[in-house]
Structure 1
Amino acid sequence: ETSQGRALLPQDPAARAEARRLWAWVEAACEEVTDTLLTERVMQWVKRDRQPDSARLRRGAHALRGRLTFLNGLLELNGYLACRELSLADLAAAAHLSAYDYFGDVEWNAVPELKDWYARMKSRPSFRPLLADRLQAVRPVAHYTDLDF
Structure 2
Amino acid sequence: MSHRLYHVPLSPFCRKVRLVMAEKRLEVELVEERYWDQEPDFLRRNPAGKVPVLRMNGVMMAESQPICEYLEEKHPEPPLLPRDPEGRYEVRRICAWFDDKFHHEVTANLLYERVNKKVMGQGYPESRNVKAGAKAIKYHLDYMAWLLDQRRWLAGDAMTMADFAAAAHLSSLDYISDVDWNRSENVKDWYAKIKSRPAFRGLLADQVPGFPPPPHYADLDF
Normalising by structure 2, we get a TM-score of 0.63
Kept in 1, the 8 Å contact 2:111–2:176? The answer is: no
- Residue 16 of structure 1, aligned match among 83, 88, 105: 88
Q: Which structure: greater strand fraction?
A: 2
Worse overlay, 118-127 or 13-22:
13-22
SS of 1:90's equivalent in the other structure is helix
Question: 1:105 & 1:66 partners in 2: Cα distance?
Answer: 14
- The count of aligned residue pairs is 149
Question: 1:18 & 1:126 partners in 2: Cα distance?
Answer: 23
Q: CA deviation at 1:47?
A: 4.5
Larger Rg: 2
Structure-to-structure mapping, 1:1-149, within 5 angstroms: 1-2=72-73, 3-32=75-104, 33-48=106-121, 50-149=123-222
Q: CA RMSD, aligned part only?
A: 1.5
Question: 1:142 & 1:62 partners in 2: Cα distance?
Answer: 24
**Taking structure 1 as reference, are residues 8 and 65 closer, same or farther at Cα in structure 2, changes over 3 Å only?**
same
Question: 1:116 & 1:87 partners in 2: Cα distance?
Answer: 16
- Report runs of 4+ in structure 1 exceeding 6 Å deviation: none
Q: Which structure: greater helix fraction?
A: 1
Kept in 2, the 8 Å contact 1:29–1:67? The answer is: no
Same amino acid, percent of matched pairs: 45
- Give unmatched runs, 5+ long, in structure 2: 1-71
Kept in 2, the 8 Å contact 1:37–1:60? The answer is: yes
Q: CA deviation at 1:64?
A: 1.2
Deviations 1:21-53 (A, max 9, x none): 111112112221211212211133234553322
Q: CA deviation at 1:79?
A: 1.3
**Taking structure 1 as reference, are residues 24 and 55 closer, same or farther at Cα in structure 2, changes over 3 Å only?**
same
The AA in structure 2 aligned to 1:123 is: S
Worse overlay, 108-117 or 50-59:
50-59
Question: 1:116 & 1:132 partners in 2: Cα distance?
Answer: 21
The AA in structure 2 aligned to 1:93 is: A
Question: 1:95 & 1:142 partners in 2: Cα distance?
Answer: 19
Question: 2:76 & 2:146 partners in 1: Cα distance?
Answer: 32
Kept in 2, the 8 Å contact 1:74–1:81? The answer is: yes
SS of 1:7's equivalent in the other structure is coil
Q: CA deviation at 1:73?
A: 1.2
Aligned to 2:25: none
Normalising by structure 1, we get a TM-score of 0.92
